[in-house]
């Protein structure tokens, strides 16, 4: 885990970097994709989608939704730093937070694509509904579905939280930093 001062510096650096990159995107037609979600916490399944998305698009923004209706396990700052740490080797991936509609945020960032991962048929119904809804809100933004790699088809943040809550092994599901953070959250006081 990075020291608190470094974490704060990282976050303000990211936000400045966003503004500069957004400005440059106006000048060249870069293909920008938003990968929205709760990421509470980020898992190897998410990372698989981010990595593959980063090969397909010029820039991928992992956008963490600030959702007033949810009570997440990790704070927004914790989740953003976990994602930053996990994606630092991917040069064209940024991390940000947003509130409100995903398509509004996508317009703000000059993005043309929303990325969503599909694990199983059970995901499909909700994801298709979401993609259709977003299309009615913003016809210029396309949703691209990436099928999650087989080894992560069972994996979700809620599964990881559940295993961690009962002291199970999570090292094969999340990064070491996230695993440590989960163990700390569920440590008996
Ligand atoms: O990780 P999640 O919880 O599956 O992500 C869901 C998310 C954040 C992609 C979705 O809830 C969302 O886009 N929320 C923002 C509100 C919005 O745009 N709603 C219209 C589309 S249904």
User: At the topology level of CATH, where does 32-185 sit?
Assistant: Rossmann fold (3.40.50)
How many distinct helices (H) and strands (E) make up the chain?
7, 5
* Percent of the chain clearing pLDDT 70 (strictly above): 85
Instruction: pLDDT band for 29, please (50, 70, 90 cuts).
Output: confident
The whole-number pLDDT of residue 184 equals 96
Catalogue the active-site residues.
Answer: 46, 70, 119, 157
At 144-184, the pLDDT tens digits run 999 999 999 999 999 999 999 999 999 999 999 999 999 99
Compute the average pLDDT of residues 82-109: 98
pTM of the shown model = 0.87
Count CB atoms within 10 A of the CB of residue 54: 21
Strand pairing partners for 95? 62
- Domain boundaries, given as residue ranges, for the chain: 32-185
Report how far residue 149's alpha carbon sits from residue 127's, in angstroms, rounded to the nearest whole number.
17
What was the pLDDT predicted at 188?
77
Strand, coil or helix: 61: strand
Residue 7 has pLDDT above 70, yes or no: no
User: Alpha-carbon distance 67 to 99, whole Å?
Assistant: 7
| 102 CA → ligand 1 middle, Å | 7
Output the pLDDT for position 169. Answer: 97
Atom of ligand 1 nearest to the CA of 102: 18
């Amino acid at each position: 885990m990075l020291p608190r001062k470094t974490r704060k510096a990282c976050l303000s650096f990211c936000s400045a970097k966003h503004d500069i990159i957004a400005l440059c995107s106006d000048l060249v037609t870069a293909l920008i994709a938003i990968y929205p979600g709760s990421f509470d916490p980020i898992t190897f399944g998410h990372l698989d989608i981010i990595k593959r998305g980063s090969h397909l698009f010029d820039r991928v923004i992992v956008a963490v939704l600030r959702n007033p209706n949810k009570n997440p396990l990790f704070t927004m700052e914790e989740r953003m730093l976990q994602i930053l740490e996990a994606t630092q080797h991917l040069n064209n991936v940024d991390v940000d937070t947003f509130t409100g509609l995903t398509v509004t945020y996508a317009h703000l960032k000059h993005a043309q694509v929303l990325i969503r991962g599909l694990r199983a048929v059970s995901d499909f119904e909700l994801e298709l509904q979401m993609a259709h809804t977003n299309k009615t809100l913003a016809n210029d933004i396309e949703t691209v579905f990436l099928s999650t790699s087989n080894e992560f088809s069972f994996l979700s943040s809620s599964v990881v939280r559940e295993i961690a809550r009962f002291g199970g092994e999570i090292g094969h599901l999340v990064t070491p930093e996230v695993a440590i953070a989960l163990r700390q959250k569920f440590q008996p006081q």
